[in-house]
Structure 1
Amino acid sequence: MRILAALLVCLALPAGAEVALDLPVGSVETARVLDDPGRYRLPTGQYTIDRQPAKVLEGRVLTRAWRTPPETSDTLSLLQLIRPQLAQAGYETIFECETAGCGGFDFRFNTTVLPPPQMQFDLTDFRALTARRGTNAPEYLSLLISRSARGGFIQAIDVAPGGARDIPLAPPERPAPPEAAAADTPGAVMTQLTNAGRLILPKVRFPEGSQTLDEEAVLSLQPLADALSANPGTGIVLVGHTDNAGTLTANIALSRSRAEAVRRVLVERYGIDAARIEAEGAGYLVPLRPNTNDENRAANRRVEAILR
């Protein structure tokens, strides 16, 4: 990636509260939120089957985000640009990962991410870095880099001294699934996607082992299709899910087929541009409920729309 010049991004805060970054020319700051005092769960490792390793910090928390020009949207190149700047500022990397190595879908939804349009997030291409400087009163920085058709997106969260401490962690509770009424209108669909980043398609349900949509499910996709038509710059990732019957490999394939079935309806019946919709499968790795009875297993056989 060719960087024509650099844009100095800095703000006069107390020493250590913010690291100044040189970003590609044409970069635009999209967000700046200062919480003092603030609290932040700093990711410290890859998402595992049931938890996101993290360190809970309290202090001066500054959250920033930038959009870089489309020609500078390669996530590895952006990381290679920023990484030495952090080292020069005295930061030591304590965790770094890329997409699947971070934990993919689960890492994204167990980590603080600003909502679009401030921070666009591609579940298939993102990088994360956690760094620390100092020992007696260490400062921390969490970096997320992703992209969209509009360009590269960078989020940096700086935590300065002022109350950093270790707090026992537990897996976060999964949000209750949205009610069916939440997807009844295009406006409600966009509100849910914008505020939560995800929308469970409430009437898209499958018999065990099936990937076929009935007519009720097809008709229920009208509000989502209308929302996409009214917002041509919006893209989504459809993520299919299964219950826990069968092997993980088979369920990953089945869940992806369920997402593809929804994608075909949106493209072929409702006329949405295929390039705006991706289809992925999570198998049984992200259940809404424990797979302990028929009702719970039926709820887990679903498709979610994720804002891209």
Structure 2
Amino acid sequence: MRLFALLAATLLLPSFASASALSLTLPGNTTVLSDEVQVLDGYALPLGPFQDGALPVKSLTGKVQRSSWRVGISGLSAQQLRTPLEEQLISMGYEVLFQCSTQACGGFDFRFETEVLSAPQMHVDLGDYHFLSLQKGGEDHVGLMVSRSANAGFIQMIHVTMPEEQLAALQPDPTGDESVETVADGAAPEPAMPKLDGDVVQDALIATLREQGHVVLDDLAFATGSADLGVERFASLATLAGFLRENAARRVVLVGHTDAQGALDGNIDLSRRRARSVRSRMVKDHGVSAAQLEAAGMGYLAPRASNLSPEGREENRRVEAVLLAAE
């Protein structure tokens, strides 16, 4: 029986474009997890699988709406969630630019190279997820990620539109005044993680990691454009290493992030090298098994502060630990 038989109610999404609202029909027991709009923002829409160390993307700028939902139906696969959504979007005039599932997308690497809302706004099962890139009219794009947990399905949609007034705003200032810096930050800034300091570093780091599923290793030091980790002994790494050595089943992904200076491809490469540098330090100096650590990079796609100030850019140059398996 088709999934549409389960669609007992309609959930209307807010209007993203000035001409008409984009609406999808979702199951009646669907819960909105996130719904945020940035009037002018950026998004890197994947156009192919992750391969040869890179993810091909189309860099978009415009009005960006990031939405996610939890579908309270157990036993659904990502494919079952994806199919009716894809059919609805195609019926609205969207064409599919790229589609993939799990390993065909690039598995773990694709998941951590593309923009995904932080938990609990989105959950992605690394063994079962689907992704779609769609376009309508050249100025309307959608990135759709679907996945599931044991008890529910999860849907994320990032919708980018570029109305005429926004396109005009992106043109160079005819007065020649370049005093305002324009930067596409990618994802909407996340709330800053607690600063880790002194005697509280161990409790704060591990508590945040367990409760939120990820934590910023805030005492690490990287200079702009460098992947070299400072030579000092960082308390966050010692604490994280102790947590991992306690139980060999625990696994984390070290995810590097940069500020928004420079091209996306270069920043993704830099952020990945930063994560690998931290992974190497954890293995060599702290005795953590390499099997418990992965490394990935997101460039400037997930800032936690504005890239328009030196202080914000410094906060965005960071490495986060993402918990994959707690026990």
Who is 1:34 aligned against? 37
Who is 1:184 aligned against? 202
Query: 1:190 & 1:9 partners in 2: Cα distance?
Result: 37
Who is 1:303 aligned against? 292
1:45–1:102 contact (8 Å) kept in structure 2: yes
Matched, 1:3 2:21: no
Q: Deviations over 1:33-66 (max 9, x none)?
A: 1001111111111111321111111100000000
Query: 1:237 & 1:126 partners in 2: Cα distance?
Result: 22
Pairs within 5 Å for 1:86-165? 86-135=89-138, 138-161=139-162, 162-163=166-167
**Helix, strand or coil: the match of 2:113?**
coil
CA positional deviation for 1:237: 7.5
Pairs within 5 Å for 1:1-308? 1=3, 2-15=5-18, 19-71=22-74, 73-135=76-138, 138-161=139-162, 162-163=166-167, 184-185=202-203, 187-192=204-209, 197=214, 202=237, 220-221=245-246, 238=251, 288-289=276-277, 298=284, 301=290, 303-304=292-293, 306-307=323-324
CA positional deviation for 1:195: 6.2
2:7–2:25 contact (8 Å) kept in structure 1: no
CA positional deviation for 1:12: 3.7
Query: 1:17 & 1:194 partners in 2: Cα distance?
Result: 40
Q: Deviations over 1:176-214 (max 9, x none)?
A: xxx9x99833x4224246667479995699xxxxxxxxx
CA shift in 2, pair 1:107/1:35, >3 Å: same
CA shift in 2, pair 1:24/1:219, >3 Å: closer
Q: Deviations over 1:153-182 (max 9, x none)?
A: 0000000013499xxxxxxxxxxxxx9x99
Q: Deviations over 1:13-46 (max 9, x none)?
A: 5436752110112111110010011111111111
State the TM-score, normalized to the length of structure 1.
0.60
Q: Deviations over 1:107-148 (max 9, x none)?
A: 11111111111111111111100000014xx21000000111
CA shift in 2, pair 1:89/1:237, >3 Å: farther
Structure 1 unaligned runs (5+)?
166-178, 206-215, 225-235, 242-284
CA positional deviation for 1:95: 0.4
CA shift in 2, pair 1:48/1:69, >3 Å: same
Query: 1:121 & 1:45 partners in 2: Cα distance?
Result: 19
CA RMSD of aligned residues (A): 4.1
Structure 2 unaligned runs (5+)?
171-195, 218-235, 255-272, 294-321
